[in-house]
Amino acid sequence: MSARTNSTPRTARLGIGRIVVAGLLAVAAGVVAPAWAQGAPGGPGMGGHPMMGGPGMGDHGMMWGDPARLGRMADHMLDGLNASDAQRSQIKQIAQAAAADLKVQRDAGRALHEKGLQLFAAPTVDVAAVEALRQQMLAQHDQASKRMMQAMIDVAKVLTPEQRAKLAERIKLRGDMMRDRLQRMQQGPAQKS
């Protein structure tokens, strides 16, 4: 593990799993994954380029956590939707299978991240090698995105239209709250009202 991963606060790591489960269910609810792509914690839009040390695919961004915790998060997201035991079980299985697949992606991303650091630290930067690495990173992001979207489609098939609509509204409200919190954090203590 990188030093950056080790220094991530426990609450931030726990939040990633919640965001992924919420993302799965949000897309299933018809709100797609722009939040994931535009900067949800751990997503590719947050924190910079993986080659330059940001938390992209090579860091903790694609790690969803252990299966038991993932199952509890799925249960929490389904609370209030009148989800049946069968729906809960199916969604847990979908999320856990996707998490296992994306862990492989995360591990591959770490290797690309390390390669990027080596290229950056070389006495002479090999522009062709950097471009080849960028292409590999794009392909890996595409593969991870496809896997995540498939999981979201699978979850959508399990929920009823009413459940998806209700969940979409809940997730929208949570996203609004998270954006507000992030804005307050970015303003710093001197500018808070």
* Among the ranges given (23-32, 46-55, 95-104, 156-165), the one the predictor scored with the smallest mean pLDDT: 46-55
Estimate to the nearest angstrom the gap between the alpha carbon of 10 and the chain centroid.
16
Task: Pick the more confident residue, 4 or 80.
Answer: 80
Residue 3 has pLDDT above 60, yes or no: no
Nearest Cα to 165, choosing from 32, 27, 29, 34? 29
**Nearest CA among 171, 133, 124 for reference residue 57:** 133
The number of C-alpha atoms within 13 Å of 116 and in the hemisphere containing its C-beta is: 22
Q: Is the entire prediction scored with pTM above 0.85?
A: no
Report how far residue 89's alpha carbon sits from residue 162's, in angstroms, rounded to the nearest whole number: 19
